[in-house]
A and B are shown apart, each in its own frame.
Chain A
Amino acid sequence: MLFTSYNFILFLVIVFILYYCIPKKFRWILLLFASYFFYAQAGVELLLFLLSTTVSTYIVSLQLLRLSGTQKAYIAKNKTVLNKEAKKAYKSKIKKKQWKWLLACLFFNFGVLAIFKYTNFTIANINSLITAFGGTKQLNFLNLVLPMGISFYMFQTMGYLIDVYRGTVQAERNIGKLALFVSFFPQLVQGPISRYNDLSRTLFEKQAFNSSNVWFGLQRILWGYLKKMVIADRILPAVNTIINAPEDYQGAYVLAGMIFYAIELYADFTGGIDIVIGIGQIFGIEMTENFNRPYFSKNITEYWRRWHITMGTWFKDYLFYPISICKPMRKLSKWSRNHLGEAVGRKLPVYISTLVVWFVTGLWHGASWNFITWGVFNGVIILLSGECAPLYQWFHKRFRVENKIWYSAFQILRTFLLMSSLRLFDCYRDVKTAFSMFGTLFTKWNYEVFFNGSMLELGISTADYMVLLLGVLLLLLVSLRQRKGSVRQQMAEKPITVNLLAVYLLFMAIIILGAYGIGYDASQFIYNQF
């Protein structure tokens, strides 16, 4: 059920009405049913995946809870007799047990993810190795359907489990609630990847109807649909034309493609998240924001603090820190301090874990060398810019450009282009092509195509361009407004008629300018596929 399908709208309306008709204490249960119904639309058998994750996590989390329970009891009981060491020893004993449980569960779940997401990729590579070593035998590909949204609910659920293990989250004793946390339908397909502590605060609460919540949520949903249907899906044909025929579209076209794709991806992904969060809001449920005007970032590190935030923090908390401060790493760092010098020893952990994290991040996005390369490059560039940081500071001080508008503008543009060129990897069919296309940017000087009307040959008409232009300007405007806090809040403070008119125009824009229905192929949200 695509968010942009009539069925989904209908589904949403029905759930919404039911939600506020039934008694408060059942409302989260309705959401649970709705979520499973929603997921079943993709295939009833897929529910098994959801269930296996939920159940395994439930069992293990309770085990962890039990163990720390016994630990407390034991220590409390023998407070007097136990000396510090004994206490430590006992604790670590328990910790070990818990660690085993945690490991088992992570292994099982990520195992499932790995099998369904990466088997064929592995096979492909094995095959290529075989051929590389002159072998002729080739393994066949399995046809495995990647369960919808698995990358998202997996991460969310495992995050929860790790938190329980760390003791930062109180394990949920009601399996129903856990199931809802895993499967909550708006975020199931494309995030945001919520933390239990954040989401549970409102998810299971007895929600009372709150008109301003609903009104705000509604606006957010509309805004999301505008981004997705009017901008992303309208520019889609142009992007496809360019990236599907790298032999015909080079140089300036690549640049155009980069920018178009940047627009499409932004409108598509943030639009999707707007819809998700908006839906949450009309049910009175708060979700973590996933974006913070990313294209206004001045450097890549900042960009990754502001784009797909929930994924970034997930990797930071559950992968980056654990790796970089784990015992072996500390040993390594110590060792290299003594043998390779302060600086190296200091940086080594960061470097290693950064590269690992970005490798995995790439892999998370998709089972292909494109994404892996993309990820690694992000890592490399982040480290490089880290290295250059002192030089920048010197430069900034020397020329006093720090807070000059034109300089900030330049930094923003620079970062935007950098990120866009990195995205070439997830556009083009393989890494090689991505590289050579990037090359043509500098080698093939056909920039006249911007003016000789070739841009109209890409599958979108002048009318489309006009709509896109307006759309992008609107996005820009709103982003600028957001610096002064919630735009919807600002609207609400205006006279009601103005507010209504704005929403009305938004609505009409979607109905009339949306790229939906016959003549447009209904397109998935890009992030549904990860």
Chain B
Amino acid sequence: MKNKIILILTAILAMSLMMTGCGSNTADSQEASSQSAGEAGFIFESGDTKVVMNAETTDILESLGKETDYFEAESCAFKGIDKTYTYSGFRLYTYPVDEVDYVLSVEFMDDSVSTTEGLSIGDTKEKVIETYGEDYEDSESSIIYTKGKSQLKFILDSGEVISSIEYLAVTD
């Protein structure tokens, strides 16, 4: 029995010795494997409030202060209610997951607000692509960038001028 303990201890010892040995390699091979892992998404900043998609709303609402307008919509048949908070310049939409609300999207309503990267309604398509790059999917009149669990969507008037900007949560 004693010997078993000794044995196990030696094993542990051996392990800890090898730690140093494998350490460096593993770190990298993990890097390699975790390449596809989701990075942080787009974040909307109002003042010093960071609005992160799919984040719990309580704190965010707290620091955004009193909304100018509030609306809640009971979705057909289901208990959950989608809430809409209107602030000057943008709207915040939430979705519920059992009793808790999460950020669904932030929609700009006028050019008084701008994205963290500095785009606002009225800017041109070129500027968008300059700022956010070529890696987007575009439908008839919109450009959508996806990053982590969030999307940034620009709707273009006559394919040229931004008529709407929206941060969207990618829910699954």
Interface residues in chain A, defined as those with a beta carbon under 8 Å from any beta carbon in chain B: 120-121, 123-125, 127-128, 131-132, 141, 368-370, 373, 377, 380-381, 384-385, 388, 391-392, 395, 414, 418, 429-432, 435, 438
Asked whether, in the complex, the Cβ of A430 is within 8 Å of the Cβ of B29, the reply is: yes
* Interface assignment of B118: CB less than 8 Å from any CB of chain A: no
- A81 CB to nearest B CB, Å: 61
Q: Mark B7-33, 1 if CB is under 8 A from A, else 0.
A: 110111011101100111111111111
Given contacts A128-B27, A384-B11, A432-B19, contact A395 B32 (CB under 8 A): no
B28 partner residues in chain A, CB cutoff 8 A: 124-125, 127-128, 131
Interface footprint category on B: 20 to 34
Minimum CB distance partner of B8 in chain A = A418
**CA distance in complex: A395, B3 (Å):** 9
- B46 CB to nearest A CB, Å: 31
Asked whether, in the complex, the Cβ of B4 is within 8 Å of the Cβ of A369, the reply is: no
B30 partner residues in chain A, CB cutoff 8 A: 429-430
* Interface assignment of B35: CB less than 8 Å from any CB of chain A: yes
A120 partner residues in chain B, CB cutoff 8 A: 32
Asked whether, in the complex, the Cβ of B15 is within 8 Å of the Cβ of A432, the reply is: no
**CA distance in complex: A266, B16 (Å):** 28
Minimum CB distance partner of A127 in chain B = B28
A414 partner residues in chain B, CB cutoff 8 A: 4
What are 16 A-B pairs with beta-carbon distances under 8 A? A120-B32, A121-B29, A125-B25, A125-B28, A369-B22, A369-B26, A373-B22, A380-B14, A392-B3, A395-B1, A414-B4, A430-B29, A431-B18, A431-B19, A431-B23, A438-B12
- How many A-B pairs have beta carbons closer than 8 Å: the answer is 75
A128 partner residues in chain B, CB cutoff 8 A: 24-25, 27-29
A373 partner residues in chain B, CB cutoff 8 A: 18, 22
A125 partner residues in chain B, CB cutoff 8 A: 25, 28-29
List the 8 shortest-distance A-B pairs measured between CB atoms, nearest first.
A128-B28, A124-B32, A430-B26, A430-B30, A431-B26, A391-B3, A124-B29, A431-B22
Asked whether, in the complex, the Cβ of B29 is within 8 Å of the Cβ of A388, the reply is: no
Contacts A368-B29, A418-B8 supplied; 4 other A-B pairs, CB < 8 Å:
A368-B33, A377-B14, A430-B26, A438-B15
Q: Is the interface of B mostly helix, strand, loop or mixed?
A: helix
**CA distance in complex: A388, B6 (Å):** 10
**CA distance in complex: A203, B12 (Å):** 47
* Interface assignment of B34: CB less than 8 Å from any CB of chain A: yes
- B67 CB to nearest A CB, Å: 33
- A367 CB to nearest B CB, Å: 9
Given contacts A388-B3, A395-B3, A414-B4, contact A377 B11 (CB under 8 A): yes
Minimum CB distance partner of B1 in chain A = A395
**CA distance in complex: A173, B123 (Å):** 74
A370 partner residues in chain B, CB cutoff 8 A: 26
**CA distance in complex: A381, B16 (Å):** 15
A131 partner residues in chain B, CB cutoff 8 A: 28
- A435 CB to nearest B CB, Å: 5
B22 partner residues in chain A, CB cutoff 8 A: 369, 373, 431-432
Asked whether, in the complex, the Cβ of B32 is within 8 Å of the Cβ of A435, the reply is: no
Asked whether, in the complex, the Cβ of A381 is within 8 Å of the Cβ of B11, the reply is: yes
**CA distance in complex: A125, B19 (Å):** 16
B11 partner residues in chain A, CB cutoff 8 A: 377, 380-381, 384
- B96 CB to nearest A CB, Å: 18
Asked whether, in the complex, the Cβ of B7 is within 8 Å of the Cβ of A385, the reply is: yes
A432 partner residues in chain B, CB cutoff 8 A: 19, 22-23, 26-27
Minimum CB distance partner of A414 in chain B = B4
**CA distance in complex: A429, B12 (Å):** 19
**CA distance in complex: A284, B2 (Å):** 50
- A45 CB to nearest B CB, Å: 22
